A and B are shown apart, each in its own frame.
Chain A
Amino acid sequence: MSEQGTGKKAKPPLSKVRREQNRREFLRTVGLGVGMVGISLAGLIPLIGGANARLRPPGALKDLLDEQRFLAACIKCGQCVQVCPVEAIHLADLTDGVGVGVPHIEARNQACDFSCDGLQCVLACPTGALTHDLNFPADTRMGFARLDRPEACLAMQGKGFKGQARGPGFGGKLRYAEVDRWTPIPVAEHPYDLELCDLCVRQCPIEIRIAECAAEKSPEPGQVARVAEKVGNECPPRHAIALEPRPDGGVGMMPVVKDGCVGCGVCEMICPVEPTAIVVDIDKVTEAPI
């Protein structure tokens, strides 16, 4: 005991029992390692076939259904959730595997209506998973709207709409600038009375901004028609959706999605028919340049 320091080589061989204990500990430890690594790798399963892909907040670093860069860059902190004035952003659960804690939007329940004006979620993102490369709502490429059930669309049937767009129990919010410029209010508190339902066009944030820009536009001759050139991209350069005569010459009007659509989901949220007639696809975005 006293001369231990000098005789390191002279260590007594381990007893049989001790060796057996060590062997078992080693096997247990390997088991723990394989188990933990296996469980963590199971988190990759939801990615198969892009099943994990969702409508993501503005600026998400992704290429349609390929969300690898977005899931990699996101630090799963939820700061984007906290700044959203309409609480559109939610964090995914463990069923999303490696996407756990990553933000997404359920447009039918609460779409992004850009009522923060400044893309607050993008500004809040600490890792650039929501890229800072975009400045205005019209620069976002979240998805692309599609009239999924034209036969159900009220406008297509030439029908109007009266009342609360999604019924009295709907919790979703929108900002109505004519009611309150700064604070979004529940859609249920803002009933409509429309001769022809045009909710998807009327509430489209891109269309609203285009109208606002048009109102600000100088009436002087020589000004360009394209409002975007007056204040840069802040004014959306392209229309996102419009009601047009039905191609078959029927009585109603048809909502036609234009290449200015960014896929924010407000049309899907506000559509008063159940289930919604218009949806946002995430496997497509406009090809128009930013």
Chain B
Amino acid sequence: MSYVLDSLRHLLGLTVERPAPERQSQEVRFIYERKAQERLTKETLEAIEAAHAGTSKRHRWRNRRWATLLIINLLFVVSYQFDVQLVEGAMTASRVVGFHFADLNSALQVMLAFKHVVLNLLIGTATVLVLWWLLGGRSFCSWACPYHLIAEWAEWLHLRLAARKWVRDMRFHRAVRPVFYLIFAGLTAASGYTVFETISPTGITSRALIYGPGLALFWVLALLLFEVFVSRRAWCRYVCPIGLTYGLVGLTSPVRVQYNVESCHHEGECRKVCLVPHVLDITIKGRAEDTRVDVAADCTRCGLCVDVCPTDSLTFKVKGLAKVL
């Protein structure tokens, strides 16, 4: 239950407090106590880091994810350009080998604006709901959304500029994202027009890939420039209602990243690479409630933390799968 509640707090932009000691298990308190006694030297940590940097695991999940994201988006393009009809449509709604798929947020907007739902849309929405629930909810963001990938490249640029102190990451309050969510939903219902879809870089990028570029790409470019020069990953972190929708789907999803306190050295590398670092606050010494903790639902399951962790303290897991196998 605390997983769902903590996840909800993250999604709403609220802070999750450090757990009271009585809420922590005996085992995890014992681990923290032991860690306080035997501190690792800087040299040891650096050696572990260096050893990890050279392994093939350093970018394993990122490479898998980029390949998946590119394949998904290329399937759309190829299906149209070569008329193979595997994935027809765009990211907002499509037909995958004939089966209806509808992006949950796009479908929600249409329902709010149109105030009428045809059966095909209902089928498409339900299919996508089940699909992304099985796959982790916000995994849509990092494994399918075309804007996410470009934004990741822009983020790389931002971080390089920030390292030279040429730019600073301007932070906003994360509670603005659920506020946006309500505003966009309200405006859509009140005006009868899909207000958010107009500025959605996901829809714009997806359509530009499939049907050819247009002026709308300048809006995407403006967002990217804002993220490079002003605020790191601002769209995904503070604005995008699609992420929030899939975050809610992921509340009970079985696919999660799991944190293992025992092997963690608390260097914080995972939080530095994370799009939503608040979900990794559990890796701060003293924050975990148990020896193993699931990373909350705002996590996009991108695997960057899994890749960067030199001690394999963060791993993908599917809840309940171990019991089945």
Contacts and interface: CB of A to CB of B under 8 A. Distances in A.
Given A126-B102, A126-B121, A78 B89 contact: yes
Interface string A50-83: 0000000000000000001101111111110111
A75 B107 contact: yes
Contacts of B191: 44
Interface string B85-124: 0001110111100001011001100100111101011001
Contacts of A83: 88
B54 interface: no
Interface string B13-43: 0000011111100000000000000000000
A95 B215 contact: yes
B198 interface: yes
Interface string B150-173: 000000000000000000001111
Contacts of B239: 32, 36
Contact of B211 (A36, A37, A91, A94): A91
Bin the interface of chain A by size. 35 or more
| Most A Cβ at <10 Å: residue of B79, B106, B216 | B216
A93 B92 contact: no
B179 interface: yes
Interface in B191-218: 191-199, 203-204, 207, 210-211, 214-216, 218
Contacts of A37: 180, 183, 187
A101 B93 contact: no
Interface stretch (A21-29, A140-148, A180-188, A276-284): A21-29
A74 B90 CA distance: 13
A18 to B, nearest CB: 14
24 contacts: A4-B18, A28-B171, A29-B173, A72-B193, A74-B110, A74-B194, A77-B90, A78-B89, A78-B207, A79-B89, A79-B94, A93-B215, A93-B216, A95-B215, A97-B198, A100-B198, A101-B204, A124-B95, A126-B124, A127-B118, A127-B120, A128-B118, A129-B114, A132-B118
A267 B171 CA distance: 57
A71 B193 contact: yes
A40 interface: yes
A94 B215 contact: yes
A40 B211 CA distance: 23
Bin the interface of chain B by size. 35 or more
Contacts of B195: 40-41, 43-44, 98
A94 to B, nearest CB: 4
Interface in A86-120: 90-91, 93-95, 97-98, 100-101
Nearest to B235: A36
A194 B186 CA distance: 59
Given A37-B187, A91-B207, A127 B198 contact: no
Nearest to A128: B118
Given A72-B193, A73-B110, A98-B195, A79 B187 contact: no
B176 interface: yes
A36 B199 contact: yes
A4 B60 CA distance: 40
B110 A75 contact: yes
A128 B116 contact: yes
Contact of A98 (B88, B92, B193): B193
Contacts of A43: 193, 195, 198-199
B117 to A, nearest CB: 8
Given A28-B170, A100-B197, A76 B118 contact: no
Contacts of B215: 93-95
Contact of A76 (B114, B124, B203): B203
A250 interface: no
B184 interface: yes
A79 B93 contact: yes
A28 B22 CA distance: 38
Given A40-B198, A82-B88, A127-B114, A32 B187 contact: no
